[in-house]
Amino acid sequence: MSAILTQPTGAAHTRIYAYGAARGENAVPNDDIIEPINSSDEWIRQRTGIVTRVRANAETDAIDLASDAAAEAIQRSGVAPEQIDAVIVATISNPKQTPSVSAIVADRVGANPAAAYDLNAACAGFAYGVAQADALIRAGAAHYAVVIGTEKLSDIVDPTDRSISFLLGDGAGAAVIGPSDTPGIGPTVWGSDGSKSDAVGMNHTLTEFRDGAAPWPTLRQEGPTVFRWAVWEMVKVAREAIEKAGITVDDLAAFVPHQANMRIIDEFAKQLKLPESVVIGRDIETTGNTSAASIPLATHRLLEEHPDLSGGLALQIGFGAGLVFGAQVVVLP
């Protein structure tokens, strides 16, 4: 008779314990970036809702931002750093191809030797990380996890590109996730549409840059294509996440979409028919679009400004490069 393997099982439910945040050190108003794109403060405000964005110092990288955000989330969570046994970092701006941001962050925050890995799902990265942490804990593969979205997008932006340069900021947001007596993270609705991968992403490869065939790769996008996809297709995903969580929009306390563009956020809320009581994350106005960091940063700010949201339900949805998306309903810590 062959031996029978032991297969672990974990907690029945999970929840988010706390959030942490780190933003770039410098506020960059529209007037500082309009000359290279031949634009105006009024044009940027009308098209994006951005008044200023935060960008990091030259010596600060995505690893530094992630470490600061994770440290705050862990401190607020009440979980000892050494109890964190999984560190998941969502980023598209690791300054090196390897080692991973997550392994370095795990060591810096005192979680060594936690399992650690990076994931690249662009602006949907944080939602992906939450889904994975939830699954790992319920499967018994981890007990406590920290999920971090971190970006230094100023390193991969062309100041003269009118399609995206004025949108982007630098920052990191983190959440500690652990076991719960009641459900705190709803089912994740996620996926991608790689057939439209040219709509937003890098304009060149690193090997093209190495070989002198192209300049330093930077982000660019087809704005109208991304706008239409985000508004019409992502609303369907948001509705599915609400339905799978077994709730209605009337049960929501907050809505935290990826901070891509204020017009997208406003149209989202309109299409979802959100009650006036739902507080909407609008961190983009003063932080900019920080890709994988935008959802936790916006949530962190909402909880700072509206502490009464604690215990309420929030719908979070990320979507971005490669037309990757992820959404779930969570209980706010």
pTM for the model? 0.96
Domain 189-332 is in which class? Answer: alpha beta
Q: Is 38 a catalytic residue?
A: no
What's the pLDDT score for residue 154?
A: 96
Mean pLDDT over 314-332 rounds to: 93
What's the pLDDT score for residue 75?
A: 98
Q: Is 123 a catalytic residue?
A: yes
Q: Does domain 13-180 have CATH number 3.40.47.10?
A: yes
Q: Domain coordinates of the chain in residue numbers?
A: 13-180, 189-332
Distance CA 314, CA 3 (A): 45
Q: Is 57 a catalytic residue?
A: no
Q: Which of 94, 123, 261, 300 is catalytic?
A: 123
Q: What percent of the chain has pLDDT over 90?
A: 89
Label residue 199 by pLDDT band (50, 70, 90).
confident
Label residue 229 by pLDDT band (50, 70, 90).
confident
Task: Say if residue 113 is preceded by a cis peptide, omega within 30 of 0.
Answer: yes
The vertex-289 CA angle with 288 and 292, nearest 5°, equals: 135
Distance CA 223, CA 66 (A): 28
Label residue 230 by pLDDT band (50, 70, 90).
confident
What's the pLDDT score for residue 1?
A: 65
HEC per residue, the chain: CCCCCCCCCCCCEEEEEEEEEEECCEEEEHHHCCCCCCCCHHHHHHHHCCCEEEECCCCCCHHHHHHHHHHHHHHHHCCCHHHCCEEEEECCCCCCCCCCHHHHHHHHCCCCCCEEEEECCHHHHHHHHHHHHHHHHHHCCCCCEEEEEEEEHHHHCCCCCCCCHHHECEEEEEEEEEEECCCCECCCEEEECHHHHHHEEECCCHHHHHCCCCCCCCEEECHHHHHHHHHHHHHHHHHHHHHHCCCCHHHEEEEEECCCCHHHHHHHHHHHCCCCCCEECCCHHHHCECHHHHHHHHHHHHHHHCHHHCCCEEEEEEEEHHHEEEEEEEECC
What's the pLDDT score for residue 107?
A: 98
Q: Which of 94, 203, 289, 300 is catalytic?
A: 289
Q: How confident is the model over 26-59, as pLDDT tens digits?
A: 999 999 999 999 999 999 999 999 999 999 999 9
What's the pLDDT score for residue 201?
A: 87
Q: How confident is the model over 59-109, as pLDDT tens digits?
A: 999 999 999 999 999 999 999 999 999 999 999 999 998 999 999 999 999
Domains 13-180 and 189-332 share a fold: yes
Q: How confident is the model over 121-171, as pLDDT tens digits?
A: 999 999 999 999 999 999 999 999 999 999 999 999 999 999 899 999 999
Q: Which of 30, 203, 258, 261 is catalytic?
A: 258
